[in-house]
């Protein structure tokens, strides 16, 4: 999702947000370090397949997906990590590893780790290796309507 599409969606819904830039960073932990933000405050999107259907697991950069918990939360028979080849074409204009957690724009289920709901704001990649978006978690929840569950383990 090119950043302009995301920003247009936020603007259309009258959402206040902050766009910020940092030096090139590829992993969620590198983004946190580059942007001088604790890893627990950066939300990363992990692409998964839930019973064969593409979905997003969203959790803190400092955590890892617990696939057993995710399977239980989704009520699924099978959960697996999606390969880059399986989702690259779904997000034209987005860098791999920088996909914003707006699966609703692609009719994709979004499951958010409950630890992220404790924060007032959510900070995430804006589709590039150099830009972040910060907005109120309540606005994110209202727009995305994610399933919230315990889906992570501390790394």
CATH number of the domain enclosing 98: 3.90.960.10
Instruction: Give the range of the structural domain holding residue 41, as residue numbers without chain letter.
Output: 3-154
Q: What is the pLDDT of residue 23?
A: 80
pLDDT of 1 above 50:
no
pTM for the model: 0.92
Counting the structural domains of the chain, the total is 1
Around Cβ 155, how many Cβ atoms within 10 Å? 10
When pLDDT is cut at 50, 70 and 90, the band that residue 154 belongs to is confident
CA distances to 23, 73, 116 from 59, rounded to whole Å, are 22, 14, 7
The per-residue pLDDT for range 46-92, each reduced to its tens digit, is 999 999 999 999 999 989 999 999 999 999 999 999 999 999 899 88
The per-residue pLDDT for range 80-136, each reduced to its tens digit, is 999 999 998 998 888 888 999 999 988 999 999 999 998 899 999 998 888 999 999
Q: What is the pLDDT of residue 2?
A: 59
CA distance 12 to 78: 36
């Amino acid at each position: 999702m090119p950043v302009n599409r995301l920003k247009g969606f936020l603007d259309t819904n009258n959402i206040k947000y902050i766009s910020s830039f940092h030096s090139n960073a590829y992993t969620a932990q590198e983004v946190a370090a580059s942007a001088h933000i604790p890893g627990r405050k950066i939300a990363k999107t992990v692409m998964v397949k839930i019973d064969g259907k593409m979905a997003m697991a969203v959790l803190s950069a400092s955590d890892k997906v617990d696939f057993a918990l995710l399977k239980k939360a989704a009520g699924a028979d099978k959960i697996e990590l999606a390969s880059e080849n399986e989702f690259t074409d779904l997000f034209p204009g987005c860098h791999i590893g920088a996909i914003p957690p707006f699966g609703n724009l692609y009719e994709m289920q979004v499951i958010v780790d409950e630890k992220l709901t404790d924060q007032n704001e959510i900070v995430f990649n804006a589709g590039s290796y150099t830009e972040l978006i910060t907005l109120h978690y309540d606005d994110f929840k209202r727009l995305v309507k994610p399933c919230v569950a315990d889906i992570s383990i501390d790394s």
